[in-house]
Chains A and B, each alone.
Chain A
Amino acid sequence: MPVVAFFVALAVGAVILLAAHFNPLLAYQAMYEGAFADFRSFTEVLLGATPLICIGAGLAVAFRCGVWNIGGEGQFYVGAVAGTAIGIYFQMLPGWILLPSVLIGGVVGGGLWAMLAGYLKGRFGANEVVTTVMLNYVAIIGTGYLVSGPMIEPGGRYPQTVQIARSAWLPQILPPTRLNIGFVIALLLALALYLLIFRSSTGYAIRAVGINPEAARYAGIKVNRNILLAMAISGGAAGLGGAMQIAGVTYRLFEQISPGFGFTAIAVSLLVNNNPLGVILSGILFGGLSTGSRLMQMNVGVPSVLVNIIQGLVVLSVVAFGAYRALTIEHEE
């Protein structure tokens, strides 16, 4: 089903390309070549997939719990800020302490940011979709303030911080490509979250709350606590993604640290029915779309935002198929 949904999205995308007087075949070919034509570009795809896998695997947990965390973007930013701050202000620490601290800082930062929305939902009933979106803006604007004010590179002309300590950089695994150990960490994270959600009693409780909160409450499961936990996990995963983006790719913080990873990750998770292991594949797929779209824009002149349309269409076709299946099953009963 995910494969069909994906091709439906590509087909509708082709119609939009035709309407804008582009040749869809040439566009998709350029996109494919930009992503998978040679080994070097494929490592770039995996690099771009790393934050998507982190955020997406976390969102899978939240969505399974029935909490609609749309705040992956903001949680990624807060994780990046926390990781950067540790990587800059604690650079006297030895690398074997500093690097883990940077990553843990990202987890804690993103996790707390998400838990704020979870707390407001549990305590005041504030709709988490609205609050997480608002917190995205607060985090992004806040990052803009930090990198142009308190954290700006001394004597620098651009709104960005200094580089974090070299000892906190994630080791590269295939030099000279930029692929780093962050990708492996993302894979391990996805595996761990899969085991948590499908093979542990904690995960069982989280899924029970997602399927029917009232029934879960009746069965003695603490609904609000599980919502808070699911938010913490998804925010922590997104924050880890943010910290790893700093420690593995950019080495410093600036305003546009994410091109919308947090929003793409929503489609990444929904495409595979919120399964953290499936997120690995769909993360690579969407990482490929983004990486490939850059070559498409350069060679064929098709704006790379086409990818955003495809993401939305993927989600729409996934829900259409899902709802259709539910209707037919109901029919058979």
Chain B
Amino acid sequence: MTILAFAGGVLAATWRMATPLIFASVGEVFAERSGVINLGLEGIMLLGAFGAYAVTFYTGSLWLGVLAALAIGLLLGLLFALFTVTIKANQIVVGVALNLVGSGVSGFLFRSIFLNSDFPSLNIVSFNNMSIPILSRIPFIGPVLFQTNMLVYLTVFLVPLASFLLYKTSFGLSVRTVGEHPKAADTMGVSVSRIRYVCVVAGSMLAAVGGASLTLAFANQFVEDMVSGRGFIALAAVVFGAWSPWGATGASLLFGAFYALQLRVQAMNNVLLPYQFLQVLPYVATILALVSIRNRAQSPKALGVPYQS
């Protein structure tokens, strides 16, 4: 294997591995810009992954699976917003609880419906790779950018759209004002809690789709606790990306690169390192990323603070 082929393999896997993180972190950008930090992303992604898997398993339709993830994200987002925005409970504690519930419910349902069942196979047919005609044949760039699956391609539309929404629309202005100075937004006649509900719910729906990409686009099965920290890595990507959709995407791609590197090196048969050294890469990279940033001042001023009118 040449170095170029190896680099191409890593780069192609980078975007794929970054996809769950991009969905979750871009959504979380909105929640945090409106002043709410959702530490329950991990649990939401897990339930999204499970719900999408279960629905696709029974219906055979991948898009119904995505729809199921959206619905689950909607419900969990409403639950999170109810606790943190309406009754103003501590956002960290609610997030922790949501993660416990997410891990418990997905594990419980997976075991009681699927594991002790007599289904001949628990696999689903996941999203195929789609080659984009002509472009996919460009050497090196083609396989990296134009031979992947629908959910990964979706991020190309998601990120510019999110950025436009946040910076170029009056809704985006309201979101940013609510996160920086809720009192001012309130005085201007913007409903702080409505904006926060919308942002938390939208973020939660995107996180659930990010989770769904794990079962629908990468693995063809659900595995208990398969999100394995991606919800928290997405939270770090938001900070590392300075609370902007493009920044969070860049950070997600960076973390995705560590996942990709780990996959590609493990796939080589002459591995010099014990696999645990590779497995640990994304987690260590996340800590280093949090330590290396200097732009903490850009954090929304009202982040984590319930609004008392």
Q: Please report A residues at the B interface, Cβ cutoff 8 Å.
A: 16, 20, 22, 68, 70, 120, 124-127, 129-131, 133-135, 137-138, 141-142, 144-145, 148-149, 263, 266-267, 270, 301-303, 305-313, 315-316, 319-320, 322-324, 326-327
Query: B59 within 8 Å of A by Cβ?
Result: no
Q: Give complex CA distance A16, B229 in Å.
A: 26
Q: Give complex CA distance A68, B91 in Å.
A: 11
Q: Give complex CA distance A272, B97 in Å.
A: 15
| Chain B: CB-nearest residue to A317 | B97
CB of A323 within 8 A of CB of B83, answer: yes
B119 contact set on A, CB distance < 8 A: none
Q: Give complex CA distance A307, B100 in Å.
A: 10
User: Nearest chain A CB to B76's CB is how many angstroms away?
Assistant: 12
Q: Give complex CA distance A263, B42 in Å.
A: 14
A302 contact set on B, CB distance < 8 A: 112
- Of B98, B103, B109, B236, which one neighbours A130 at CB under 8 angstroms? B236
Of B99, B108, B235, chain A has the most CB atoms within 10 Å of the CB of: B108
User: Nearest chain B CB to A257's CB is how many angstroms away?
Assistant: 16
- Of A127, A263, A313, which one neighbours B290 at CB under 8 angstroms? A127
Contact with A along B91-106 (1 / 0, CB 8 A): 0111111111111110
Q: Please report B residues at the A interface, Cβ cutoff 8 Å.
A: 39, 43, 83, 87-90, 92-105, 107-109, 111-113, 116, 228-229, 232-233, 235-236, 239, 274, 276-277, 279-280, 283-284, 286-287, 290-291, 293, 296
A306 contact set on B, CB distance < 8 A: 104, 108
12 extra A-B contacts, CB within 8 A, seeds A120-B291, A323-B83: A16-B108, A129-B39, A129-B232, A130-B236, A134-B229, A141-B283, A142-B276, A305-B104, A308-B100, A308-B101, A312-B99, A319-B90
- Of A144, A307, A320, which one neighbours B83 at CB under 8 angstroms? A320
Q: With A125-B296, A303-B112 known to touch, is A134 a contact of B96 (CB < 8 Å)?
A: no
B286 contact set on A, CB distance < 8 A: 130, 134
CB of B83 within 8 A of CB of A312, answer: no
| Chain A: CB-nearest residue to B292 | A124
B95 contact set on A, CB distance < 8 A: 129
CB of B93 within 8 A of CB of A270, answer: yes
B96 contact set on A, CB distance < 8 A: 68, 70, 266, 315
Of A131, A322, A327, chain B has the most CB atoms within 10 Å of the CB of: A131
- Of B101, B116, B283, which one neighbours A316 at CB under 8 angstroms? B101
| Chain A: CB-nearest residue to B87 | A323
CB of B276 within 8 A of CB of A144, answer: yes
Q: With A20-B109, A145-B276 known to touch, is A127 a contact of B104 (CB < 8 Å)?
A: no
CB of A131 within 8 A of CB of B97, answer: no
- Of A16, A263, A324, which one neighbours B100 at CB under 8 angstroms? A263
Q: List 24 A-B pairs, Cβ < 8 Å.
A: A20-B113, A124-B290, A125-B296, A129-B95, A131-B290, A134-B229, A134-B284, A135-B287, A138-B283, A145-B277, A148-B274, A267-B100, A303-B107, A306-B108, A309-B108, A312-B98, A312-B101, A315-B93, A315-B100, A316-B83, A316-B98, A319-B83, A327-B87, A327-B88
Q: With A126-B291, A134-B232, A323-B88 known to touch, is A308 a contact of B104 (CB < 8 Å)?
A: yes
CB of A313 within 8 A of CB of B101, answer: yes
Count A-B pairs with CB separation below 8 Å: 138
User: Nearest chain B CB to A16's CB is how many angstroms away?
Assistant: 7
A322 contact set on B, CB distance < 8 A: 89
| Chain B: CB-nearest residue to A116 | B287
User: Nearest chain A CB to B231's CB is how many angstroms away?
Assistant: 9
CB of B83 within 8 A of CB of A311, answer: no
CB of B89 within 8 A of CB of A323, answer: yes
User: Nearest chain B CB to A142's CB is how many angstroms away?
Assistant: 7
CB of B100 within 8 A of CB of A129, answer: no
- Of A16, A127, A319, A326, which one neighbours B93 at CB under 8 angstroms? A319
CB of B279 within 8 A of CB of A312, answer: no
Q: Give complex CA distance A310, B283 in Å.
A: 28
User: Nearest chain A CB to B109's CB is how many angstroms away?
Assistant: 7
Of B90, B111, B112, chain A has the most CB atoms within 10 Å of the CB of: B112
Q: With A305-B107, A308-B107, A309-B101 known to touch, is A130 a contact of B232 (CB < 8 Å)?
A: yes
Q: Give complex CA distance A70, B93 in Å.
A: 10
User: Nearest chain A CB to B283's CB is how many angstroms away?
Assistant: 4
User: Nearest chain A CB to B23's CB is how many angstroms away?
Assistant: 18
- Of B88, B101, B229, B239, which one neighbours A127 at CB under 8 angstroms? B239
User: Nearest chain A CB to B56's CB is how many angstroms away?
Assistant: 20
CB of B107 within 8 A of CB of A319, answer: no
B102 contact set on A, CB distance < 8 A: 312
User: Nearest chain A CB to B308's CB is how many angstroms away?
Assistant: 8
Q: With A129-B39, A130-B235 known to touch, is A137 a contact of B88 (CB < 8 Å)?
A: no
| Chain A: CB-nearest residue to B285 | A134
B112 contact set on A, CB distance < 8 A: 20, 22, 302-303
| Chain A: CB-nearest residue to B239 | A127
B116 contact set on A, CB distance < 8 A: 301
B113 contact set on A, CB distance < 8 A: 20
B293 contact set on A, CB distance < 8 A: 124
